[in-house]
Amino acid sequence: MNKLGIHALVWAGGWSHDECALAIEQTAKIGYDYIEIPALDPNSIDVDFTRKQLEKANLGVTLSLGLAPEADISSEDPDKIARGEATLQDAVALARDVGSAHVCGILHSAFTKYYHPPTQKGIENAVEVLRRIGEQAQKNGITIGLEVVNRYESNVLNTAAQAVAFCKQIDSPNVKVHLDTYHMNIEENDVMSAMIETGDYLNYFHVGESHRGYLGTGSINFDNVFRSLVYAGYTGPITFESFSSAVVNQELASILGIWRNLWSDGYDLAVHAKSFMEAQLKSARESILARA
């Protein structure tokens, strides 16, 4: 059965002790299985404090990040590549220490708007780094999820098919694909077939609306999305991701373009998202049973 989680930015823009305690407490209170912590700077997270809060709330955890432009492993600059590899190593170590089995996000390139396509050499550089990170992840029982994002956030992986081909090049059992409905809605020809064709490579999933606000209030066909998850036999984590100018992390807001106030009550949003995802999963499973 899929575990359901929520992105920490629904609660707080940073990860101070107060923000960490509040985010974890609220997530557990609503009944989510885990919280996804943004770890753009893995060394800024207080491991012991976070772990204690998670244990107290009996809550699971996953980590996500995007590489900074100066840590771009898909570049041809050895210094940038080395910084990116070090960030990824730190993220895997943080996951191990905080008790997360998943590190996901834009780990294959910088999390930025590019003004040029990737180079062949750059792609090879990213593949080599991720092969080594895959080994480190495997040793620690962690899976790397490469997030497929829209063209304004990366130039390396914009479609599910590109991500599967990229994973085949890396050829590590612990490097898989992370899909997100918000990005698929922009880039995929057909969301259902993209998800089904990703198949066993799919290892992490983000549920976000077309405008990243309340689920069901935008233009994404969630009936199709959840049926595809069930058709694909996906049993991994499903994270609700939403951003509003009401809760701001400057680093993320500037790249994601979070200018509009799509909600102000994170608690109400989170309660609604959980029941929405549960109802969608239930309907999808029943629809498959009805076909049998």
Active-site residues, by number, are: 147, 241
- The CA–CA distances, whole Å, from 96 to 45, 109, 156, 198 equal 13, 23, 27, 27
- Return d(Cα 193, Cα 215) in angstroms, integer: 22
Hey, which residues does 212 pair with through a beta bridge?
Answer: none
Q: Minimum distance from CB of 56 to Mn ion (Å)?
A: 27
Q: Minimum distance from CB of 180 to Mn ion (Å)?
A: 4
- The CA–CA distances, whole Å, from 102 to 143, 158, 245 equal 5, 21, 27
Mapped onto helix, strand or coil, the DSSP state of residue 280 is: helix
Quick one: which H or E segment has residue 47? helix 47-57
* Nearer CB in complex with Mn ion: 80/206: 206
Q: Minimum distance from CB of 65 to Mn ion (Å)?
A: 11
* Nearer CB in complex with Mn ion: 178/274: 178
- Return d(Cα 196, Cα 231) in angstroms, integer: 7
Q: Which residues, including other chains, have CB under 8 Å from residue 256's CB and lie 6 or more apart?
A: 153, 212, 243
Q: Minimum distance from CB of 18 to Mn ion (Å)?
A: 25
Q: Which residues bind Mn ion (CB under 5 A)?
A: 180, 206, 241
